[in-house]
Amino acid sequence: MSDVRVGVVGAGFLAETRARCWAVARGARIEGVAARRPERAAQYAGRHDVPRTFETAEELFASPEIDLVDLCVPNLAHRPLTEAAARAGKHVLCTKPMAAYVGQDLDDEATDAEIAGRDRRDMWRVAEADARAMVDATAEAGVRLFYGENWLYAPAYVRARGLLAEGDTALLEMRGWECHNGSHSPYSKAWRHAGGGALLRLGAHPIGAMLDLKRAEGIRRTGTPIRPAAVRADVADLTAAAEGAPLRVATGWQDVENWGCAILEFEDGSRGVAYGSDAVLGGMESKLELYGSNAHLKVNMSPNDMLRSYAPDGDVFGDAYFMEKVDGGAGWTTAMPNEDWTSGQLSMCQAFADAVRTGGETAADGWLGLEATRVVYAAYVAAQDGTRVSLS
């Protein structure tokens, strides 16, 4: 088969990451781009040598020159754009979270307070229905739905998953987190735009990884996936505790949490503790600790010690980039050689391109995105009610 021709929708931070990855993926290339503002699409095309720009996403979907649509758009656009792309016969890559509650069941006049104040059970119902509709729409159209969970393709994670299989290890407990000092996007601070805070935006990563690992373990050991059975959770805006103190993490959270923690209870009695935080200085942290029946693994996706650098002050390296969310190069810091590789973004794009070309399966598919959506919103219910919430 010839190269997979990718159409990127969006021209923001994630689209920049994907441009770097598609540029080196074998058997794939970006053929076109569309963005809400056409001038941004044109600028993106110029930066990344993309041959075609489209006025709208719908025009991109209609093009016979596009095979796979890469949705780098806000959460509220995931379902409608996935359904539109599927109707046009395009495969879809949707970033995490696959679906989110942003007031889509309310009228256009709903206020921010009405959206954020909805009972979390209603949010769960709507978000899960959206994720399921995306899975159904792509299945009915005979196209693939890929879930953009890059953790599953990070080299450290892939190696750990393989070792667990080699050791026939039963996972007893998993602890995972993604943390930094605040999102790139101002839209992340309002429920109307993001559909949740740190638990959804950051905690979805370890949750997706835990779902994948227990699924693989169950199939390996008994032929049946081990699924999550219940969840407990808590959420908070931690910056409220810093009144009057110097504060270097992001502020201005309107109605979403900047810290969230969920405890997953699996069918076999094992546990997973997943949290996300926007209140951590020192750069991006993406980590997973695995406690097994006969093994203990620590998966360090970011930061890691492939390269450590020291400078007595920030002038030594000037404006050099070190890693995501690090302010400068003074003192000891982690100069990540290639974050696209260590984070799994590059291998993820390669895996999805290969799947389109060969028809092979991928771990990060629409069903994983649906399950992650269910768990996150059940966790919001648990945090709201202060109780254990069943997923059965």
Flag whether pLDDT at 324 surpasses 90.
Answer: no
pLDDT, one tens digit per residue, over 288-310 is: 999 999 999 999 999 888 888 88
Mean pLDDT of 125-130: 98
Flag whether pLDDT at 330 surpasses 90.
Answer: no
- Distance between CA atoms of 185 and 188, rounded to whole angstroms? 6
Question: Tokens 């997953």 label which residue?
Answer: 264
pTM of the model: 0.95
Catalogue the long-range contacts made by 214-217 (C-beta closer than 8 Å, 24 or more residues apart): 214/171, 214/266, 214/268, 214/270, 214/272, 216/161, 216/164, 216/165, 216/363, 217/164, 217/169, 217/170, 217/171
- Please check whether residue 13 is in contact with residue 74, taking contact to mean a CB–CB distance below 8 angstroms: no
What is the crossing angle of helices 155-166 and 204-221, to 10°?
A: 30
Position 135 confidence tier, pLDDT thresholds 50, 70, 90: very high
- Distance between CA atoms of 114 and 97, rounded to whole angstroms? 22
Planar angle of CA 291, 340, 135, nearest 5 degrees: 75
The b/e string for 13-49 (b: 16+ C-beta within 10 A; e otherwise) is ebbebbbbbbbebeebebbbbbbeeeebbeebbeebe
Position 314 confidence tier, pLDDT thresholds 50, 70, 90: confident
pLDDT at residue 329, rounded to an integer: 80
Q: Which helix (H) or strand (E) holds 128?
A: helix 120-141
- Distance between CA atoms of 138 and 132, rounded to whole angstroms? 10
pLDDT at residue 62, rounded to an integer: 98
DSSP calls for 197-237: SHHHHTTHHHHHHHHHHHHHHHHHHTSS---EEEEEEEEE-
pLDDT at residue 294, rounded to an integer: 96
Q: Pairing between strand 296-302 and 285-292? A: antiparallel
Percent of the chain with pLDDT over 90: 87
Position 1 confidence tier, pLDDT thresholds 50, 70, 90: low
Residue predicted with more confidence, 108 or 213: 213
Mean pLDDT of 215-235: 97
**In this predicted structure, which of 124-128, 214-218, 269-273, 311-315 has the lowest mean pLDDT?**
311-315
pLDDT, one tens digit per residue, over 233-284 is: 999 999 999 989 999 999 999 999 999 999 999 999 999 999 999 999 999 9
Flag whether pLDDT at 226 surpasses 80.
Answer: yes
Mean pLDDT of 73-98: 96
Q: Pairing between strand 171-179 and 145-148? A: unpaired
Flag whether pLDDT at 29 surpasses 80.
Answer: yes
Domains belonging to the chain, first-starting first, are: 4-149 (3.40.50.720), 151-346+376-390 (3.30.360.10)
Quick one: CA dihedral 211, 199, 296, 173, positive or negative? negative
What is the crossing angle of helices 13-24 and 38-48, to 10°?
A: 30
pLDDT at residue 169, rounded to an integer: 97
